[in-house]
Amino acid sequence: MNPAILVHGGCGPRSEADGDDQQSRAGALAAAKAGHAVLRGGGSAIDAVERACRVLEDDPAFNAGYGAVLNEDGVAELDASIMDGASLKAGAVAVVTTVKNPITAARRVMERTRHVLLVGAGAEAFAHEAGLPRIENQALVTEKARARFAAERLATHGTVGVVAVDVQGHVAAGTSTGGTSSKKRGRVGDSPLIGCGTYADDRLGAVSCTGVGEYIIRVTLARRVLELLDRGLSPQAAAEAGLAEVVRLGGEAGVILVTPQGELAWATSAERMSRAWVTRDNETGSAFWK
């Protein structure tokens, strides 16, 4: 079958967009194309998801990896998770401060430990032992993140996420974030929590979420969307119905979804959610506003 990939670069209100739409769309498109190149070459969905997430983590336009928002102490604390729909194996890291690409650390947790989630100093030590370079936290901090922290203490958020299906019909999902700005030290959002920010199951599909983690966690949004799909809703209706549960609690969120047949869907309650895709019919595109 033809592969497909959909990426998001976080959702949020118009006022936080700072005129970043061009940069954000271009970055999302570059990530989708990088992931699709892996899929086109016969690579697995999990490889494509990791590849595309790394492109987004390295792009300062997004709140993940380099350019992440800062916590209340001015430190970038990163969370990420990845899940393979074929095996239902998953890996995640949270509250890491010395790793440039947390999605790869998450994948190492999945493949090289008997655990799903490692946090803080233990996650960092593991990641470095697994070969990921140690970097100074300040090397993750961009001028924009510093200015936002110093001048405004803006309550902002954002995240990156990728869902993909490969030529064999296997799905995978990954999510990576700096979380919410000025968050409390040690705060963990939905992104590294399997079933909340990320879920993948070859029998149903793969989902990555963005938005205010505290609400997403309470409805286990990623898993919830797949449950709704399992009940017979279309991909689009499942994404929207899952989202409606977050909205009902007063939260804001966005989801992306791929099915094993290569259907793509997305939904957000926010004013913007940058996203980019390559469909199973090889159509490429990107968008920023809702």
Contact between residue 161 and residue 177 where contact means Cβ atoms under 8 Å apart: no
Contact between residue 288 and residue 7 where contact means Cβ atoms under 8 Å apart: no
| Stretch of 23-31, 209-217, 233-241, 257-265 contacting ligand ASP, by CB under 6 A | 209-217
Closest by CA to 78, choosing from 107, 52, 100, 51, is: 100
CA distance 237 to 266: 10
Strands 117-119 and 89-96, how do they pair?
Answer: parallel
Task: Please confirm, yes or no, whether 159 is among the known catalytic residues.
Answer: yes
Q: Say which of 104, 159, 180, 220 is annotated catalytic.
A: 159
Shortest separation between residue 200's beta carbon and ligand ASP, angstroms: 17
Closest by CA to 172, choosing from 209, 202, 210, is: 202
Q: 155-184 mask for ligand ASP (x: CB under 6 A)?
A: --xxx-----------------x-xx----
Can you tell me which of 44, 191, 208, 286 binds ligand ASP, judged by CB under 6 A? 191
Output phi, psi for 54, to 5 deg: -65, -40
Shortest separation between residue 210's beta carbon and ligand ASP, angstroms: 4
Contact between residue 290 and residue 243 where contact means Cβ atoms under 8 Å apart: no
Q: How many CB atoms lie within 10 A of CB 14?
A: 10
Asked if 190 touches ligand ASP (CB under 6 A), the answer is yes
Beta bridge partners of 160: 176
Question: Which residue, 190 or 201, is less far from ligand ASP as judged by CB?
Answer: 190
Question: Which residue, 12 or 260, is less far from ligand ASP as judged by CB?
Answer: 12
Q: 115-154 mask for ligand ASP (x: CB under 6 A)?
A: ----------------------------------------
Question: Which residue, 104 or 268, is less far from ligand ASP as judged by CB?
Answer: 268
169 DSSP assignment: S
> Active-site residue numbers?
159
List residues near ligand ASP by CB under 6 A: 10, 157-159, 177, 179-180, 189-191, 210-213
